[in-house]
Chains A and B, each alone.
Chain A
């Protein structure tokens, strides 16, 4: 069943044509990855989906509802949460307070407590450090925190913007293992990544974005084998 459908959206930064008709669909339970180089429009697509930017034409539908009419802060109650690029954690709050901010829109105390335990099970490191000021966490821990905070909203669709950015390879593996686990627990994931290699390993399907256009799409396995993808994004000659 289609969960999110992005249909032919075009977006501009001033006069710069950033998205020239991007279409993609995400089915419930999938991990879909959007890969592409710098400036391809990956983050712009994500900004459009999360309502921070409005596409000039085209439509975005989530569970048969047009997202156009919702301001960005309403999306979380629709079931869409975001792990922003560069993590965007609240540096001076403690880890626990950050997680509580993730559940800001919710009122069910018991549910929040349950979910807190769930994310602590997922990221034991965060439980160890729950009283520590988030700004003093290492990069990997901050990424865990940003992911955990998004999960605190109990989303059905999780938008992740470059979770591998600035992390050591061993940590990237750790984070991506967790992403797979989150998906197995029932959360649909849209993964925007520059690191195509690892993104295609865990994704079901993928889209390749190039200068504002989708140039390729298909199952992750096919994309891994595709010669252009291999050449441009996987570094295989």
Chain B
């Protein structure tokens, strides 16, 4: 307990922060890790995912999920402890303690699973789960083994903190790469089989997982590359800066060219299945970019974005279908602008009644619109036109100069083109005068009006433009599927798009792309996740808000905003009387966000 006394005497840290480095705190956090792991096991994720091996015969995804809370929380606690200069021995002790305590809830779970039958309520607490948790070693032996494993994980996790920074970074990267490659082994085999042949791949992969040797090889390789890069990074950067403008431009052009070529041939490298996944990701990027105008730029929380998607899809469906409900049998390319305009018109009309609403009220009203559109699509009233629950069938595939966009690989190009156009438009908008208007609107409506900004027009414009890419995504979606049903336009679409924006970083375009891959791509790739998709979203949202409140890839502007807001909450900076007269230079107040993360 001497360490605690030592920490308490250090006056640099604020009082409540210092409390967070006591043994009691570590124990509580350990318990939290154990409860988290127990929860993940009890809802059946561990069992479901133990079917997917990451490193053949050694590690399954289920086991990773089981140890991840302990690993993460030990890391978190150790980082804090290190910040307050606690000794190595103490930090290691915390790691072991967290590992040990986190085993307790799991052992209780094992006992519960083996000795009771509560499967009526908890389907997943079964002897089968106990078998997985005890590594098949019986109750006593298995529990001891589990405890030992968790203690080792806790120790490893805090050891990572104690490593010098460049080593820590390398090991982190190596872990992510090794586990990532292991997790997606099946896909990697799928992509590379045509290139290398299955004989070569069998050296590294075994039954859809990495072999031990391959895992070790990758681990060491990534560490080596990472260390080398970190050592040379500064040198390379200087050399790049010394190249002079024209050469730098050439390099940038070349890398853009390579990226372009990769993007161009991507569906043929990836194959049908992955192209389908990328297509879905692309559609959500498109919608994310659109919703970002309303939510990210103008600060209008729209929970009914699915409306625009549905309008685009139904307009395209009705106008192009060759089936019974087809009205015009127009070509896809003529219908795309019509669908976009229709969505924009809907966006405009729906914006009218909510013009005077702000914040939460606006969110609830738009949420209502999203539901109205789904119910309308299902209604008997409109079924003579849009088919009600039967939907619209026989939507033909688009073609261009005899080239038919038949499957996901061909559709990729339509989606890519749409995304590029949308990216161009929305980036330009963001930096334009209109973008400034939206920014002012988001910050303070009354002040915006006082600056001479017509807030009514700005809002209408935001909703209308925001709707455009939703309509475009809808039209592409209709043509891609060939049929549309009301079920495709549920509240979930709105939630998905909004989650993408929040997790990626509100207002950040790279964030939207990252968020789409993470939230739409990952569940498709790890099909076991599909069942837990909403749980994943919820967990990701909470973790993001706690650790990176500005999002995973925040826009520079938004980051500033959130940091200054956090500062206002904690800082005397706003009302300090003395510092007013004394100039205190350009220093920025501390932000509460750890620079290391």
Point out residues on A near B: beta carbons under 8 Å.
50-52, 71-77, 81-82, 84, 88, 90-93, 101-102, 104-105, 125, 128-129, 132-133, 135-136, 138-142, 149-150, 153, 166-168, 170-171
Contacts and interface: CB of A to CB of B under 8 A. Distances in A.
Contact of A88 (B446, B455, B575, B589): B446
B421 to A, nearest CB: 29
A104 B452 contact: yes
23 contacts: A50-B450, A51-B449, A52-B449, A72-B450, A73-B449, A73-B453, A77-B452, A84-B444, A84-B450, A88-B443, A88-B446, A90-B444, A92-B443, A104-B436, A125-B583, A135-B561, A135-B567, A136-B564, A136-B589, A138-B574, A138-B579, A142-B574, A167-B577
Contact of B436 (A51, A101, A129, A170): A101
A84 B447 contact: yes
Contacts of B557: 92-93
A139 B574 contact: yes
Interface in B423-461: 436-437, 439-440, 443-444, 446-456
Contacts of B439: 90, 93
Given A92-B557, A138-B580, A171-B580, A166 B451 contact: no
Given A92-B557, A166-B575, A82 B450 contact: yes
B576 interface: yes
B586 interface: yes
B443 A91 contact: yes
A90 to B, nearest CB: 5
B577 A92 contact: no
A153 B453 CA distance: 12
B568 A135 contact: yes
B580 A168 contact: yes
Contacts of B447: 84, 88, 90
A148 B436 CA distance: 19
B370 to A, nearest CB: 30
Nearest to A90: B443
Given A73-B453, A76-B452, A101-B436, A135 B581 contact: no
A92 B560 contact: yes
A92 B558 contact: yes
Instruction: State the 3 A-B residue pairs at the shortest beta-carbon distance, nearest first.
Output: A135-B564, A168-B577, A105-B452
A139 B589 contact: no
Contact of A139 (B436, B575, B583): B575
A150 to B, nearest CB: 8
Given A90-B447, A135-B561, 12 more contacts: A71-B454, A72-B450, A73-B450, A75-B450, A104-B437, A104-B440, A104-B452, A132-B586, A138-B573, A139-B580, A153-B451, A170-B581
B430 to A, nearest CB: 14
Interface string B562-597: 001101100001111111110100101100000000
Interface of B: 436-437, 439-440, 443-444, 446-456, 557-558, 560-561, 564-565, 567-568, 573-581, 583, 586, 588-589
B579 A76 contact: no
B436 A133 contact: no
Nearest to B586: A132
A128 B583 contact: yes
Contacts of B456: 71
Contacts of A52: 446, 449
A16 B446 CA distance: 22
Contacts of A102: 451
A133 B436 CA distance: 16
A107 to B, nearest CB: 11
A73 B454 contact: yes
B439 to A, nearest CB: 7
B336 to A, nearest CB: 35
Contacts of B586: 129, 132
Contacts of A135: 560-561, 564-565, 567-568
B583 A138 contact: no
A167 B450 CA distance: 23
A76 B558 contact: no
B90 to A, nearest CB: 36
A138 B575 CA distance: 7
Nearest to B591: A136
A171 B577 contact: yes
Contacts of B453: 73, 104
A170 B577 contact: yes
Contacts of B452: 73-74, 76-77, 104-105, 153
Contacts of B578: 168
Contact of A73 (B436, B455, B588, B589): B455
A125 B567 CA distance: 22
B446 A84 contact: yes
Nearest to A152: B451
Contacts of B583: 125, 128
A217 B586 CA distance: 46
A170 B565 contact: no
Nearest to A80: B450
B565 A91 contact: yes
B451 A104 contact: yes
Nearest to B443: A90
Contacts of B565: 91, 135
A93 B439 CA distance: 10
Nearest to B446: A52
Contacts of B450: 50, 72-73, 75-76, 81-82, 84, 88, 150
